[in-house]
Structure 1
Amino acid sequence: MNAVIKRADTKLEHRWKLEDLFASQAEWDREYAEAMEAIRAIAQYEGKLADHGQLKSCFTLEDEISKHVERLYVYANMRHHEDMADPQYQALSDKSKKLSVQSGEASSFITPEILSLPDDKLDAMIADPELATFHSTLKEMRRQKAHTLSKSEEMLLAQVGNVSQAPGTIFGMLNNADLKFPKVKDENGNEAELTHGTYIQFLESRNRDVRREAFTKVYETYGKMKNTLAATLNANVTKNVFYAKARKYPSVLEMSLFGDNIQKEVYTNLIGTIHDHLPLMHRYMKLRKTLLGVDELHMYDLFAPLVEEFDMDIPYEQAKSIVKESLQPLGEDYLNVLQEGFDKAWIDVYENEGKRSGAYSWGAYGTHPYILLNHKDNLNSMFTLTHEMGHALHSYYSDQEQPYRDAQYTIFLAEVASTLNEALLMHYMLEKSTDPKEKMYLLTYYADQFRTTVFRQTMFAEFEKLIHEKAEAGESLTPQELSAIYYDLNVKYYGKDMIVDRDIEMEWARIPHFYTSFYVYKYATGFSAATSFSKQILEEGAPAVERYLGFLKSGSSDYSIEILKKAGVDMSTPEPISQAMSVFEELIAQMEQLVESGKA
């Protein structure tokens, strides 16, 4: 499928069936009217939530509103994503967004009113069997109460909210609008634009001069702005320290982990265990140096292709069949649901004019999940298919097994099921591959996921931890200090086979994630948890599969760390990260073997 076609010309069997949500526009309009009526009705409960019966009725109505709004919003926006230029669904999407805001405003009194109740009153509500459906909501409110301030203080903090966004906003404007990079020469010696978008493309060039020039010019540009960029990052850290003190948390790190109820040890274990396994990263760098055939490995060589481009043509029907085959270890029940997704039009497959780019899994409670793809017949698209089906089946099982309030899983857990599917697909592909070139292509693809998702994100997480600790100890974060910390981390993580070019000391200045503090560690823990699951499933079989399906069915019925623990992945210990590292070690060993045999 080469030419991009119009939406009207896409085959029915390649479209998702949104009629499973709403059979017609008239049906959507009817539900919208019901939602508006319910939104108006919730005000009757304001000031009455100390009464258990009134609280139950209020929560029940809140759920009803939320389900209406979710269904209306999901449908309108998925219709809009089919063709972003269609004015009918642009308008419907806007209408659903406004409804969502109205719903939030109408029920905004609930949490503050419950939190203003005395502790013993809250405890009595949690113990009341009549409120059993809402126990997890009430328990979470009770837990948050220790860090919720008085009404006037909360109002003051809310007003500071706009000011607190300033560091991230300023960085965004500086990084995306004002920073201009000089031109570089491409592979053909022509002057080419260097932008955020083209930078990685230049680093993936087979021509080393192109890689070096792009790398040097990017960091020279950031270097010229180092004082401003350091002041911006410093302001973000200072804001975090202010909020942690105001809300009575021991540190910014503990404040950031509190929402998911994650213990500090999960974060420190990740960093400590990765430190223990840095010799593996160093071994991979040595191998990278050999595969590239260079005397010195530089930081600008990290994205250079290690093998010749290996073109894998995988049509969609074949991709579905390979994905299903690779997920056999998950058992019959899982495969039946997967097949249902393939057969019952959960998936919108190909690109068409105006269709939203990328891929996602989405849906509303009470109907099956949906998947948007822009499928190309290649390896990447097959991995995207299994990734999104992982999300979809996680949602499917959670929705089937959990009441509405407990069905939505947290961001801490969100990437586990999708990444597990990718791990099983990769295992299957490597097992089946007989062509050494194909095998090396797959191995480098997978090894680089470990490098970028586990090692690099952990290095970012360590950098965040170090700079916040310095700020909390009253030390200043000058550009020189930030650069020294960042440079030393690169030396530690990449090892003696890597020439750590001095330019890399400015990389901290271009990472937008540092303005969403203490978030990146979730990439590394999610990837490690998924790799640990896949290892257990492949080695143990049925008992591990049963535990894993239990994880998929749990939604947010308990705290994330507890859900994983019950399923056999205890992120409060180093074990899952060590298991992931043993998989990484196997990959490196296979690559080394291919190099030694001269087949790579």
Structure 2
Amino acid sequence: MEEAKKQTLKGRDQIAEEYKWDLSQLYESDESWEKEFNQIKGRVSEMEDYQGKLGESAETLLAGLNLSMELNRILEKLYSYAARKNDEDTTANKYQGMKARIQALYSNFASISSFMVPEIIQIPIDKLESYLAQKEELKLYKHYLDDIMRQRSHYLSPQEEKIIALAGEVTQGPSNIFGMINNADISFPTIKGEDGEEIEVSHGRYIDLLKDKNRHIRRDAFKAYYSSYQELENTLSMTLSSNVKKNIFYRKVRNYESSLEASLAGNKIPVEVYTNLIDTVSKHLDSMYSYIDLRQAALELDELHMYDLYTPIIKDVEMKVTYEESQNIILEALKPLGAEYLKVIKEAFENSWIDVYENKGKRSGAYSASCYDAHPYILMNYTDSIDNLFTLAHELGHAMHSYYSNQTQPYLYADYSIFVAEVASTVNEALLMQYLLRTTEDEEKRKYILNYHLEQFRGTVYRQTMFAEFEKSIHDSAEQGQALTPELLAKEYHNLNQKYYGQSIVVDDEIDIEWARIPHFYYNFYVYQYATGFSAAITLSQRILEEGQSAVDRYLTFLQGGSSDYPIELLKQAGVDMATPEPIEKALKVFEQLVEEMKELVLVTSNV
């Protein structure tokens, strides 16, 4: 089947132009790209003229910052074009080469300009303030400079900073080793399919196998998958332990109270944001327990096991949505955001912002990519499904965030942080979800939509918060001098699964090793942002629907903010304070209501 699919894929030239993105806003042709590439290649070394001189005068500091921004902006535009062309057909040698060349030039520029932050930190604060007073144009950089100076006490001498920088390649070791084990070296057993055929378990197939209607296949895939990690538990526990020690090393040399504080400091995120998330979700686990009970009853199982968490609790519902239908649905669903917002969405649909369909060699998946000097571009591999309807709405949310920030902010502050990145995309999805629930009369389709939304909550709020608590726990243990042995990791992970899913589920022994397969545990306190972003988006979407224009105005102000302020402050402007439990509580209240509605539809109407 897979081979047949490949043979029927269209070539790029067979896709109608109306379904392809138009990159001419970046460069008219490959030749115009080459011309600018050759010009900038000769200019990157101009940064060297400012090394050791940034603190000499207000004029020199301004000139150095301006040159850095100018070159970075051109390099970003060059990269955007090469990367988009490469993604159209990843087998095309020409665009592979263009992308590799601009990546190398970008890396060279980063290396040459790496002196800037350490030099700025060496400028006495009173001197820097006098520069800002002397030179009006420098005031553009005030927030940028304040952000550097805010972290001044956590930087060391230039010689010590050089040593820390040299250690970077070594301290990436645990993450790189895990990547090689997990992607290249590990192998999985085969299991028997429904017709007795051999199925090799793999990363790509695992979740699909857990969704299978046949419970024996789910169980066998679950046991087979984790048996491979159990065989490597000593190596993988040592790898994760080494990564935790790396984080502790950096927090010590940077003089932070904890690894958690050190990881959040870059975006000025209070530690309370992290701990509030864990504490608030922990106080509202009854709704998850209720959902687990609903799942067990709907599946008509005597015991619910961990391998029963992904299989649909409703019968298959065919909800085909063509690309043209998805455009109309999205425009209707996003009406609460106002005419101006919809006008830009229509522009995206009508003016070739989106590369819609799969073709031979095209990069898989979906994304939105922003470049300051062009509108955002969206890559899709659209198939006529409700999943792709939601994916399109999601990517349009990212695109709108980039569009508004680019339109409002100078280049320096146009990009936005990871902490807020998923907010705009999830607001779009939440408004789409509410629209579908309001307008879908077919009961089976309504069940399907509700189940989709409940699984979003389970995977993004509850599961990611469990990951966040595990990450904090193992760092705390290591800080207290405990060895992160396979036994300690397994016990902690087992207990957390029991805590988050409750007593109605059998926490199978195999799940105790799941920590060994999660790449995000090597990202240094990253996963909590999925849960906070989702919760903020649910709260914002509710307010947009309930309050109307005043909430919309605040939300659009947030979208225009880029990185002109810290992410917590930008979200406050939208009306959400992530330093308090309120947004998390509001999101969990929505989950509770969805569970109750699903119970009515699945249990009462079905007499289960």
Return the TM-score normalized by structure 1: 0.97
| Superposed counterparts of 1:291-310, under 5 Å | 291-310=298-317
Q: Does structure 1 retain, via aligned residues, the 8 Å contact 2:447–2:602?
A: no
Return the TM-score normalized by structure 2: 0.96
| Superposed counterparts of 1:102-501, under 5 Å | 102-126=108-132, 129-501=136-508
Q: Label 1:529 to 1:126 Cα distance change in 2 as closer, same or farther (>3 A).
A: farther
Structure 1 partner of 2:554: 547
- The one-character-per-residue Cα deviations of 1:119-176 (angstroms, maximum 9, x if unpaired) are 3323434555431111121111101221111112112112222221111122222222
Q: Secondary structure at the match of 2:500?
A: helix
Give the Cα separation in 2 of the matches to 1:394 and 1:456: 26
Residues 1:33 and 2:34 aligned together: no
Give the Cα separation in 2 of the matches to 1:584 and 1:474: 39
Larger deviation, residues 293-302 vs 216-225? 216-225
One-letter identity of the residue aligned with 2:437: L
Give the Cα separation in 2 of the matches to 1:112 and 1:363: 29
Residues 1:55 and 2:54 aligned together: no
- The one-character-per-residue Cα deviations of 1:198-241 (angstroms, maximum 9, x if unpaired) are 22122111111111112122223322322222211111111111
Q: Does structure 2 retain, via aligned residues, the 8 Å contact 1:126–1:138?
A: no
Q: Secondary structure at the match of 2:368?
A: strand
Q: Label 1:9 to 1:221 Cα distance change in 2 as closer, same or farther (>3 A).
A: closer
Q: Secondary structure at the match of 1:352?
A: coil
Count of aligned pairs between the two proteins? 600
Give the Cα separation in 2 of the matches to 1:226 and 1:109: 42
One-letter identity of the residue aligned with 1:231: M
Structure 1 partner of 2:16: 11
- The one-character-per-residue Cα deviations of 1:335-368 (angstroms, maximum 9, x if unpaired) are 0111111111111111111111111111311221
Q: Label 1:135 to 1:288 Cα distance change in 2 as closer, same or farther (>3 A).
A: same
Query: Which among 17, 22, 29 is matched to residue 27 of structure 2?
Result: 22
Q: Label 1:529 to 1:2 Cα distance change in 2 as closer, same or farther (>3 A).
A: farther
Give the Cα separation in 1 of the matches to 2:111 and 2:603: 65
One-letter identity of the residue aligned with 1:369: P
Give the Cα separation in 2 of the matches to 1:39 and 1:170: 34
Task: Identify unmatched segments of 5+ residues in structure 2.
Answer: 1-5
Structure 1 partner of 2:3: none
Q: Secondary structure at the match of 1:310?
A: coil
Give the Cα separation in 2 of the matches to 1:136 and 1:410: 15
User: 1:599: Cα distance to partner?
Assistant: 5.1
Give the Cα separation in 2 of the matches to 1:342 and 1:244: 47
Q: Secondary structure at the match of 1:109?
A: helix
Give the Cα separation in 2 of the matches to 1:130 and 1:428: 47
| Superposed counterparts of 1:87-106, under 5 Å | 87-106=93-112
Q: Does structure 1 retain, via aligned residues, the 8 Å contact 2:298–2:603?
A: no
User: 1:281: Cα distance to partner?
Assistant: 0.4
One-letter identity of the residue aligned with 2:69: D
State the Cα RMSD in Å.
1.6
Give the Cα separation in 2 of the matches to 1:222 and 1:537: 45
Residues 1:579 and 2:586 aligned together: yes
Task: Identify unmatched segments of 5+ residues in structure 1.
Answer: none
Larger deviation, residues 60-69 vs 262-271? 60-69
- The one-character-per-residue Cα deviations of 1:287-314 (angstroms, maximum 9, x if unpaired) are 0011111111111100111111211111
Q: Label 1:42 to 1:478 Cα distance change in 2 as closer, same or farther (>3 A).
A: closer
- The one-character-per-residue Cα deviations of 1:416-442 (angstroms, maximum 9, x if unpaired) are 101110111111111111111101111
Give the Cα separation in 2 of the matches to 1:566 and 1:447: 28
Q: Label 1:518 to 1:126 Cα distance change in 2 as closer, same or farther (>3 A).
A: farther
Query: Which among 514, 523, 526 is matched to residue 516 of structure 1?
Result: 523
Give the Cα separation in 2 of the matches to 1:3 and 1:220: 37
User: 1:555: Cα distance to partner?
Assistant: 0.4
Q: Secondary structure at the match of 2:213?
A: coil
Percent identity reads: 49
User: 1:99: Cα distance to partner?
Assistant: 2.1
User: 1:453: Cα distance to partner?
Assistant: 0.5
One-letter identity of the residue aligned with 1:33: N
Give the Cα separation in 1 of the matches to 2:591 and 2:429: 14
Larger deviation, residues 81-90 vs 511-520? 81-90
- The one-character-per-residue Cα deviations of 1:507-566 (angstroms, maximum 9, x if unpaired) are 111111111121000110111111111111111111110100011000000000000011
Q: Does structure 2 retain, via aligned residues, the 8 Å contact 1:164–1:239?
A: yes
